[in-house]
Amino acid sequence: MNSLHVDNVVKSFNGKVILSDVFLSCQKGEIKGLIGRNGSGKSTLLKIIFGTVRADSKFVRIGDKVIKNITYGRNLINYMPQDSFLPNNISIKDLINLFLHKENRKSVLEDDYIRPLLNKKNQALSAGERRIIEVLLLINSNAEFILLDEPFNGVSPIVGDYIIDCIKKMKSSKGFIVTDHDYERVMSLADSIVYLQNGYLKKINNKSELLKLGYFPETQFIS
Ligand SMILES: Nc1ncnc2c1ncn2[C@@H]1O[C@H](COP(=O)(O)OP(=O)(O)OP(=O)(O)O)[C@@H](O)[C@H]1O
């Protein structure tokens, strides 16, 4: 079974080190949660893995294939950015046909949340409606590893839970790395959690470790 192996990721912006020497791995069938404060470098790390941001150094491998840049990762890794990436002036139905292979379209076209939106144009959707479409397009793509940057951003609680179910359904055939500030949802979804701080990743076992790291205030802590 393939695995995604990420090693020796180093990245600075304007002389400031964001990622020092990051190691991360993800198996097919695994969901890894990535948590960290604002500006800790989570999106930068995902973009480096995907290949849209150049690292000072990196090693990314899927199975035996070294992913030197975005072209090597085509059909292997897909990334959903934090900000909307869908083009305007195109209906949701056409977007689904454009983004997905034929065999993957049916379940999205028939999805209860998506069906009422099929004839709308992307720019006419609410932020939450757009996010659920983006998540479904990504997780139904043929890539083996899916990187999701803030999939729960802007979605209502019931849709957040629905997104969790959708990701879990795809889990047996793919590996996921998911980052979001809705850490409760990330923790309930992921098999394991890593926390990014000062350029390094640290494994997290429970919420009290996140509290100790100062990720959320004590007033929010309910074990
Ligand atoms: N293109 C860029 N040029 C200069 N600095 C950048 C650039 N992209 C990101 N940074 C800086 O790198 C740091 C990490 O940014 P990044 O977006 O990866 O953080 P993040 O953990 O995803 O944050 P958030 O949770 O707020 O989305 C930030 O301090 C940011 O200002």
As for the ipTM of the complex, it is 0.98
Mean pLDDT score, 209-214: 91
Burial class of residue 51, CB neighbours in 10 A (0-12, 13-18, 19+): buried
DSSP type of residue 121: B
C-alpha 18 to ligand 1 mean position (Å): 8
Residue matched to tokens 């192996």 = 5
Could you identify the atom of ligand 1 that is nearest to the CA of residue 41?
Answer: 18
Query: Domain range holding 63?
Result: 3-220
Cα–Cα dist 158/176, whole Å: 21
Per the rule left: phi > 0, alpha: psi between -120 and 50, beta: everything else, 39 is left
Q: Is 11 in the pocket of ligand 1 (CB under 6 A)?
A: no
Pocket test for ligand 1, best of 17, 35, 42 (most atoms within 8 A of CB): 42
Average pLDDT for the chain: 93
C-alpha span between 173 and 104 (Å, rounded): 13
Protein residue with its CA nearest to atom 9 in ligand 1: 44
> Rounded to the nearest whole angstrom, what is the distance from the C-alpha of residue 40 to the centroid of ligand 1?
7
List phi, psi (to 5°) of 96: -65, -45
pLDDT interval class at 42 (50, 70, 90): very high
Provide the domain count of the chain: 1
CATH number at residue 178: 3.40.50.300
pLDDT in tens, 20-35: 999 999 999 999 999 9
Between 50 and 73, whose confidence is greater?
50
More confident residue, 217 or 91: 91
Question: Residue 213 C-alpha to ligand 1 middle, in angstroms?
Answer: 20
Confidence of residue 69 (pLDDT cuts 50, 70, 90): confident
Q: What is the mean pLDDT of residues 184-202?
A: 96
pLDDT of residue 223: 60
pLDDT band at 221 (very low <50, low <70, confident <90, very high): low
Q: Does ligand 1 have an atom closer than 6 angstroms to the CB of 221?
A: no
Q: Where does the pLDDT of residue 74 fall: very low under 50, low under 70, confident under 90, or very high at 90 and above?
A: confident
Give residue 42 CA to ligand 1 midpoint distance, Å. Answer: 8
User: pLDDT band at residue 222, thresholds of 50, 70 and 90?
Assistant: low
pLDDT at 75: 81
Going by alpha carbons, the residue nearest to atom 16 of ligand 1 is 41
Q: What is the pLDDT of residue 219?
A: 77
**CB neighbour list of residue 59: distance below 8 Å, 6 or more residues apart:** 5, 6, 7, 8, 9, 66
Residue nearest to atom 26 of ligand 1 (CA): 38
What pLDDT, in 10s, does the model give residues 120-160?
998 899 999 999 999 999 999 999 999 999 999 999 999 99
Ligand 1 pocket, 16 CB below 6 A?
Answer: no
Confirm or reject: Cβ of 179 under 6 Å from ligand 1.
no
pTM score of the predicted model: 0.94
Say yes or no: CB of residue 199 within 6 Å of ligand 1.
Answer: no
Which residue, 66, 56, 80, is CA-closest to 199? 56
- Please provide the size of the chain in residues: 223
What are the C-alpha distances in Å from 75 to residues 29, 38, 103, 143, 145? 17, 30, 15, 5, 9
> 39 CB under 6 A from ligand 1?
yes
Work out the pLDDT band at 46, boundaries 50, 70, 90: very high
Atom 3 of ligand 1, residue of closest alpha carbon: 13
| pLDDT beyond 60 at 1 | no
Strand locations in the chain (E):
3-13, 16-27, 31-36, 57-62, 65-66, 77-80, 145-149, 175-179, 192-197, 200-204
